[in-house]
Chains A and B, each alone.
Chain A
């Protein structure tokens, strides 16, 4: 967020494209993710029907969201847990801070949570004098490097192992080999101590099952299990849209989530947590808190971004997006990168925050094709662009150009004239069959790409000739 305040999206994107390290890291990672995902779905014919089912469940839940949240709340409370309601990010931070204060918490261990990223929770806790340790390896790396995550499920995807080794060397004040195995061992040791000392664990939630009061965490490293097993207080933070009705619904999602995210059949750990430790248990938290967060989601229930509330945060749409693959996550400048991230940013911060980002898509539809719940991201992006135009948020040259273009297309006589007129006008600008630079309003377009010139004969003209020849 801080970055987006000081630079524009085009500046950040341009910088990302010139960053050779980043380009290399992105190419390796996204290609690997896409291949794994495609392979695992090819070997899983029932996957397509499950995706339809999952999409239906998400829509059905939104239609009765109030009912399922009431049920979830009742069940969590029945199990001895506490449920809190946060309309804004500020409220969510306040709730978690006061739980920490009441329990005299000095050290927090955090599992990976996009919701916590969304509300800048770490900064708030640290500001209150509470130490926070990110425990997902990727999150830990970027915390040590004082950066932000660049991918929903692989936060440090933008860094090479040599860069990561340097970060660890600086932190530990001794040489560290650029070997993932060595670095992982070091992180395990450092974080193990923190897990055992921490007073409070904070996690997100991949799902919350209303009929049983269960919070579900899907992880690979086991940090989610640590965070929910070892500290005396566990706080789970989730957006309201994460609730699902039953265990039968849960297994529908579990069968497609890991396949879409990493190409695994199931992630290494799926942890189902019902409230605090029960009387017979030796471990588990003594207190359990669930924070249900709105933060811009609720008004989209009847709004243009409703479908974005289906999102499982698997990251598949990032990996296939031709724009994400070029610029990576940081260029988007906010918590959620990639195609779904543009919609999430609009949801959280308003349309004004995405006036450039709304165009950071070729509308190729690859995102909608891989989305496990078939979210029609291109449709919402087009509608978003329309809103930006109507609300006059889009820059005026853009609005003038598109308005003129629309008039032209709407009048056949004008359109017929456009061919010969453009050919005449483009003459001074065509070099070796391309238009490499245009003046005035059009300069920005040609600053980063060439424009093909209008053909010597347009389709209409050729069609006319063919008709005459018959």
Chain B
């Protein structure tokens, strides 16, 4: 292994030997990311109906299933229907704090075995038990921290009460979101990312952000599209109006 100083030093010597191929600059970042996000949100205040239509169009093109409900307390009924249609009943979901509502009771009333993820820190045996539960669950219910209309993408921040595996291990992923997380373009998503990282301690309690654009897919065998290789075979988006 090479020491850091020696490694970087060599790179510095090599870069200083040449001015490069042409004068070039990196992308210009928003000076005040929070204010830039505010501007995006203000635009969306009027345009959100078009944006969510675009999201739906793109999401469905990726074989995503789009649902609309007026209120959060109607989410369990949608999940219940998805479960019954697929003859499954084991559900894991983000914690009540992470989802912004306690879905556990509602999901149980739908006849589902629902396990919300814990908000606090748990011991190793409990972590192992939850992991086994997650691996066996058929449906994972999460929130979404960003929805990008032009690509039909959902972005999820990991952290307290919001494990990475909830949207990964089950066959069916259900993400619940509302217009507050909606942006129109990938470029705008970049502004949101800048804002999150400007204050990471406030915005993110975990180490991973995952952008999800449709179900898990592969074309590795004769370029034939096949869904659900490792991640979910179906992704559902429930939009709360």
Which residues of A line the B interface, CB within 8 A? 25, 28-29, 32-33, 53, 55-57, 59-66, 69-70, 73, 79, 83-87, 91, 94-95, 135-138, 141, 154-157, 160-161, 164, 180-181, 183-184, 187-188, 191-192, 195-196, 211-212, 220-223, 225-226, 228-230, 240, 244-252, 254-255, 262, 264-284, 288, 292, 294, 298-299, 301-302, 306-307
Contacts and interface: CB of A to CB of B under 8 A. Distances in A.
B205 A269 contact: no
A282 B122 contact: yes
10 tightest A-B contacts by CB?
A222-B231, A251-B190, A138-B220, A280-B160, A302-B17, A85-B7, A247-B193, A270-B211, A59-B24, A222-B230
Nearest to A279: B121
Contacts of B193: 247, 250-251, 272
Interface stretch (B25-33, B78-86, B105-113): B25-33
Contact of A69 (B11, B164, B207): B11
Given A266-B153, A281-B159, A301-B14, A221 B208 contact: no
Given A248-B27, A266-B151, A87 B217 contact: no
A191 B228 CA distance: 13
B189 interface: yes
B186 A255 contact: yes
Contact of A229 (B10, B27, B165, B205): B165
B213 A269 contact: yes
Which of A95, A226, A265 gathers the greatest number of chain B CB atoms within 10 Å?
A: A265
A248 B213 contact: no
Given A137-B220, A138-B220, A248-B28, A86 B151 contact: no
Given A57-B26, A267-B213, A306 B208 contact: no
18 contacts: A32-B223, A60-B25, A63-B15, A65-B15, A246-B29, A248-B191, A251-B187, A265-B58, A266-B186, A271-B210, A271-B211, A281-B163, A281-B164, A283-B164, A288-B207, A292-B7, A294-B7, A302-B15
Given A79-B207, A278-B159, A248 B194 contact: yes
A230 B231 CA distance: 13
A32 B222 CA distance: 10
Given A137-B220, A180-B224, A301-B15, 18 more contacts: A57-B24, A57-B26, A59-B22, A66-B12, A154-B223, A184-B221, A212-B197, A220-B217, A222-B230, A247-B29, A265-B150, A266-B211, A270-B211, A271-B209, A271-B211, A301-B14, A302-B18, A307-B21
A215 to B, nearest CB: 10
Given A87-B2, A246-B29, A266-B153, A284 B11 contact: no
B130 to A, nearest CB: 6
A154 B210 contact: no
B132 to A, nearest CB: 9
Contact of A221 (B30, B190, B207, B230): B230
Given A69-B11, A281-B163, A154 B220 contact: yes
Contact of B216 (A135, A222, A298): A222
Query: Most chain-A Cβ atoms within 10 A of its Cβ — which of B11, B130, B158, B186?
Result: B11
B23 to A, nearest CB: 9
A262 B224 CA distance: 12
Interface residues of B, number: 82
B205 A281 contact: yes
A246 B213 CA distance: 22
Contacts, number: 279
A269 B211 contact: yes
Given A59-B20, A251-B193, A85 B4 contact: yes
A61 B220 contact: no
Contacts of B161: 280
A438 B197 CA distance: 67
Contacts of B240: none
A193 B25 CA distance: 46
A252 B190 CA distance: 9
Contacts of B200: 212, 274
Q: Chain A CB within 10 Å — which of B25, B30, B131, B221 has the most?
A: B221
Contacts of B189: 251
A78 B11 CA distance: 22
B215 interface: yes
Interface in B155-195: 158-161, 163-165, 168, 186-187, 189-191, 193-194
A278 B30 CA distance: 27
A251 B151 CA distance: 13
Contact of A64 (B4, B7, B15, B127): B15
A156 B135 CA distance: 29
Contact of B226 (A180, A196, A223, A270): A180
B117 interface: yes
Contact of A282 (B3, B130, B210, B211): B130
